[in-house]
Structure 1
Amino acid sequence: MKHRFAIAAVICLFGLNTTRSDDSYRVQAVKGPYFLCDERVTEDRWLSERFIVPLQKHSDEPLIVKEHEWEGSGPYLNGSVLHDPEASLYRMWYSVWNSHNYFNKLPFSYNVCYAESDDGIHWRKPALGVFKGEPNPKNNCIRLGTDKTQAIDVCINPRPDKYPGQFLAIHNQKGGVFASTSENGKTFTFLDETPEIAYHSDTHNNFAYDEVRDRWLLFCRPRAYAGDHKRRVSMQTSSDLKNWTHERTILVPTETEPPEFYGMTVFRRGDLFWGIIKVYDRGPGFMHGEIAWSSDGEHWNQIPTHPVFLERGPSGSWDHGMVITADEPVVVENEMRFYYSGAKASHHETRNQHAIGLATAQRDRLVGLRPSGDKSGYVLTRPFPRQQDDDLTVNAIISKNNGVLRAELRDDGNHVLEGFALEDCDAVTTSGYAKRITWKGRILGKAPLSEVRIRFELTSAQLFTFDIAKPVSN
């Protein structure tokens, strides 16, 4: 099915008939899937609640462990994992830390290594032979940086007409945060000889491309902070990867959280930015992941109870002390793969051993809505324009024990459209990622008005997204 929401139409859709005070900084959702946790999409909910679906760990054991002397304290994912469709390969760039070089102030105390896989589960570390700073030239270190390469974020170049190379990257190097390009993912060259950000941001800085607005968002640490440490999250933007706005702090822990955010990795799904916050408790030195979402990359939302999205392992496990995710998940059909690194001990332990594992989510089932009690729950969308052949689908989990999802169409004045009431809806009674919603066989495009709202009814059901599409012609 192909998406049919025109940008101009959707801007008209969500830009009208709203008096919310946050309109000045909320952008309008212009592409699906449309997440029900997005307040640009939903107007109201009743007897329903948002909830987080925690990641499920693939195994009790890591996928990648230390094998070579140059891997120092072991592989950790201040890095990236991508699926390269041109090469039919999974590619991984992971970080390593050499304590001897670090404490003796020698070059490349931090470096980045490369691994690849055919299936994303079984990984190999090819001898690249491009980094000359190790006694063994047959290492899997990439070539980048002059004295260190501390953390990296790699993406497939989204604008080859504008930037060189198949891959683009940002990374820490002496003097600040630099942008680089690569044709093969193994040797990188600076886009500029001067840093994009001329200060040290000691975390996994990462960037996300906003394809709707053709801009880059860079998430790093701020220079200005109120306390004795700067473990906060700041953001700045650029239209060309060269000229950046001044960073602004966008995430500060609330009164109910540990006092430090070590960083945040950010990715796109639909027209939302999703972030996995590295929540750091300095006392014991532990770190776990919490999920947040944003319409513009600056103003972020979380469930107030701060449920854990990626949890630490049990005592004695390889990932008991800390867990941190790569910059974005790899989507494989209906599975989202979140590669992450874990450490057995806390952040305080300099001899900590790191490794890399895998946790998964079902496609786009990150934050959903469900009934808050035993009664049915309801959610009402904002008005949107419908076209003649529009087909409504939902990503939902329906309980096998009498679960039902229904929908009705209303006008902007909240009147039910004749023939499209809850009683007319062909009830959805099974789970699916794209379950069609019809009314006695009629699709959304047959509604009598050109602008409608959707009111969903959830009975022992969980709703994550909806989408508007046209059937594919045979």
Structure 2
Amino acid sequence: MSSSQTLYNGIELPEPWPPRWDRLALDPPAPPYLVSPPKVIPIDVGRQLFVDDFLIEQTTLSRTMHTAEYHASNPVLEPDKPWEDEGVFIPVSSGRPMVGPFACPFSDGVWYDPDDKLFKMWYMAGRLFATCYASSQDGIHWEKPELDVVPGTNIVHPGNRDTSVVWLDLNATDPQRRYVLYRFEKKPRRGFALHYSADGIHWSDEILRAGECLDRATVFYNPFRGVWVHSLKAIGPVSGYDESIPKSTQGYGDAERIVRYWEQEDLVDSPMWTRSDEPYLWVHTDRRDPVYPGTDCGQPKIYDLDAVAYESLIIGAFAILETYYPGVEEDRPKRNQIQMGFSRDGFHWDRPLRKPLAPVSDTRGDWNWGNMQPAGGVCLVVGDELHFYFSGRAGCGRTYPEPITGPDAISARDCDASTGIAVLRRDGFASMDGGAGGGTLTTRPVLFSGKYLFVNVDCLDGELQVEVLDLDGKVIEPFTREGCEHVSVDKTLQSVSWSGIDDLSSLAGQPVHFRFSLTQGRLYSFWVSPQASGASHGYVAAGGPGFTGHTDTVGMAAER
């Protein structure tokens, strides 16, 4: 884990890697690649998103971070089978058996399988009861097929579970390992168990157990470095408090929930940690996270981190616990919100927008009244949109129209769990915006081997022009602003050309700057493709219709 490496984007990883920290901090430093970016940034992998200043040398445009909109069909999956109201779970915090149905990813996974041309979902059924499978032609309308694992049901793993992750590995060399399942077993023996499957339905016996860890553990694959990453719930050391004053009076709780990190090239053969304190300190909330008014847990807690490769980034869905509610609203589910984070080296995170991608509802009875959790795979690319699958819980809200207290509230407050979708424009996490007076954005020196420049832009009422500069800032003929054919569209994949010339191959292999001039519009991303189709050759998260693998090799063929 300690060998030095230069990444696809020019970032040099120091030794040892990953970093070793003694404590996490309430005032964490910026990611090192934002403090000292590469002198030249290769951009052959994926669309280049403006979620931070990594790509930007100079700009007069302004950045807007965007949130998603809930789909009108929510919830798209609800508990309606008898086995989705099974299971016994007695939370330590209440000592009372939990009641109420579940049909929701607790990470688990939502993927598009290009071989079967199906959306596939794995989810928790019942109160930590079993893992079930559903499929869909469009990702909106889901079927729960009767399978043969537990005849007459859609259960694919009947074992007791807490968190679970299903990963579709389209590059698996062994077809029996096409699907990966990591399942945290509560009983009879606590632990994170690995299983494999050829079809996602019939799972192997337990292959191995991960090292010692707590229950909300997940795993994802980082293809930029070729490693599996374990994202592990832990309680750990955090610096930045005034140690002379009780944390509770500073607005912080005493138990600091964090996430630890462990990576493996192979889930079976690579070294595994043993003790829970061996994985590396990784992620914690910090002073920029707003404290929820009236919270009963002080500083917000990081509840979970699921991640996936999207285009040229690792994107992370951070479940942030704002408050538990006991004693305030006893019948309401805990308030978990999903925020997005971004990493360019796979370890350091930037969370520029400290607000939910799609918020918890404050309307009693709504499916997402509390305890929002992300799905494994994080999002799918569906035409010109990103679809994020979340689970949410109605708690007592649908059973009891009015607030209640007492045993029923305590038992049912965190149940009645369903699944919904939030929708965002493709690449739409952030945009660089120009107003009526216009503005420019000049990239740092970039290096490419492709031929065709593409943008994701919304300037239907304005225009975008692009010019190419050498390292001395001189415009390279014929790629001038005056010669650039004006772009006035709202498209997630739009080509750019100059007086009929769209071939940049004469500039391939030499560092250049792009300068974008934008009026009345939003610029979301740019990329240089080797194909006229606009294929980005970046990663497409959990996939989507039209894509043939984990990367975009088809371009506009996958657009609606």
In structure 1, the partner of 2:227 is 215
Question: Taking structure 1 as reference, are residues 111 and 49 closer, same or farther at Cα in structure 2, changes over 3 Å only?
Answer: farther
Give, in angstroms, the shift of residue 374 of structure 1: 5.3
**Structure 1: which 5+ residue stretches go unaligned?**
1-6, 99-108, 132-136
Asked whether the 8 Å contact 2:236–2:257 carries over to 1, the reply is: no
Question: Taking structure 1 as reference, are residues 339 and 276 closer, same or farther at Cα in structure 2, changes over 3 Å only?
Answer: same
In structure 1, what residue type is equivalent to 2:203? F
Asked whether the 8 Å contact 2:362–2:369 carries over to 1, the reply is: yes
In structure 2, the partner of 1:252 is 284
SS in 2 for 1:70: helix
Q: How many residues align?
A: 437
Give, in angstroms, the shift of residue 378 of structure 1: 2.6
Question: Taking structure 1 as reference, are residues 20 and 80 closer, same or farther at Cα in structure 2, changes over 3 Å only?
Answer: closer
Give, in angstroms, the shift of residue 223 of structure 1: 5.0
CA distance in 1, matches of 2:43, 2:511: 16
SS in 2 for 1:326: strand
**Structure 2: which 5+ residue stretches go unaligned?**
13-31, 86-100, 239-252, 292-299, 326-333, 398-408, 534-560
Asked whether the 8 Å contact 2:49–2:525 carries over to 1, the reply is: yes
Give, in angstroms, the shift of residue 192 of structure 1: 2.6
CA distance in 1, matches of 2:191, 2:439: 50
CA distance in 2, matches of 1:126, 1:48: 50
Does residue 1:301 correspond to 2:358, yes or no?
no
Does residue 1:77 correspond to 2:96, yes or no?
no
Q: Deviations over 1:92-151 (max 9, x none)?
A: 1111343xxxxxxxxxx44211112222222122232424xxxxx533222264xx2222
In structure 2, what residue type is equivalent to 1:220? L
Question: Taking structure 1 as reference, are residues 86 and 447 closer, same or farther at Cα in structure 2, changes over 3 Å only?
Answer: closer
Give, in angstroms, the shift of residue 9 of structure 1: 11
In structure 2, the partner of 1:53 is 66
In structure 2, what residue type is equivalent to 1:344? A
In structure 1, the partner of 2:382 is 332
Does residue 1:430 correspond to 2:492, yes or no?
no
In structure 2, the partner of 1:160 is 172
In structure 1, the partner of 2:263 is 237
Asked whether the 8 Å contact 2:222–2:308 carries over to 1, the reply is: no
Give, in angstroms, the shift of residue 386 of structure 1: 4.7
Question: Taking structure 1 as reference, are residues 149 and 115 closer, same or farther at Cα in structure 2, changes over 3 Å only?
Answer: same
Asked whether the 8 Å contact 1:336–1:362 carries over to 2, the reply is: yes
In structure 2, what residue type is equivalent to 1:58? H
CA distance in 2, matches of 1:77, 1:144: 15
Asked whether the 8 Å contact 2:63–2:432 carries over to 1, the reply is: yes
SS in 2 for 1:164: helix
In structure 2, the partner of 1:369 is 432
Residues 254-293 of structure 1 mapped to structure 2, 5 A cutoff = 254-257=286-289, 258=291, 259-284=300-325, 285-293=334-342
Asked whether the 8 Å contact 1:178–1:192 carries over to 2, the reply is: yes
CA distance in 2, matches of 1:184, 1:236: 27
Selected match of 1:87 from 108, 116, 120: 116
Q: Deviations over 1:249-298 (max 9, x none)?
A: 33222223242111122111112100111121125331221111101221
In structure 1, the partner of 2:524 is 464
In structure 2, what residue type is equivalent to 1:114? Y
SS in 1 for 2:316: strand
Asked whether the 8 Å contact 1:406–1:427 carries over to 2, the reply is: yes
In structure 1, the partner of 2:56 is 43
CA distance in 2, matches of 1:249, 1:236: 9
Q: Deviations over 1:199-251 (max 9, x none)?
A: 22x22x33222223221122221353456435323322110113246422332
CA distance in 1, matches of 2:164, 2:237: 24
Asked whether the 8 Å contact 2:235–2:255 carries over to 1, the reply is: no
Selected match of 1:181 from 167, 188, 196: 196
In structure 2, what residue type is equivalent to 1:250? W
Asked whether the 8 Å contact 1:144–1:188 carries over to 2, the reply is: no
TM-score normalized by structure 2?
A: 0.71
CA distance in 2, matches of 1:248, 1:314: 37
In structure 2, the partner of 1:104 is none
Q: Percent identity?
A: 22
Question: Taking structure 1 as reference, are residues 167 and 446 closer, same or farther at Cα in structure 2, changes over 3 Å only?
Answer: closer
CA distance in 1, matches of 2:410, 2:422: 24
Does residue 1:394 correspond to 2:455, yes or no?
yes
In structure 1, the partner of 2:465 is 406
SS in 1 for 2:500: coil
Cα root mean square deviation, aligned = 3.2
SS in 2 for 1:434: strand
In structure 2, what residue type is equivalent to 1:394? V
Asked whether the 8 Å contact 1:206–1:266 carries over to 2, the reply is: no
SS in 1 for 2:83: helix
Q: Which has the higher mean CA deviation after the structures are superposed, 444-453 or 314-323?
A: 444-453
Give, in angstroms, the shift of residue 311 of structure 1: 1.2
Selected match of 1:381 from 443, 448, 452: 443
Question: Taking structure 1 as reference, are residues 314 and 91 closer, same or farther at Cα in structure 2, changes over 3 Å only?
Answer: same
TM-score normalized by structure 1?
A: 0.82
Question: Taking structure 1 as reference, are residues 64 and 453 closer, same or farther at Cα in structure 2, changes over 3 Å only?
Answer: same
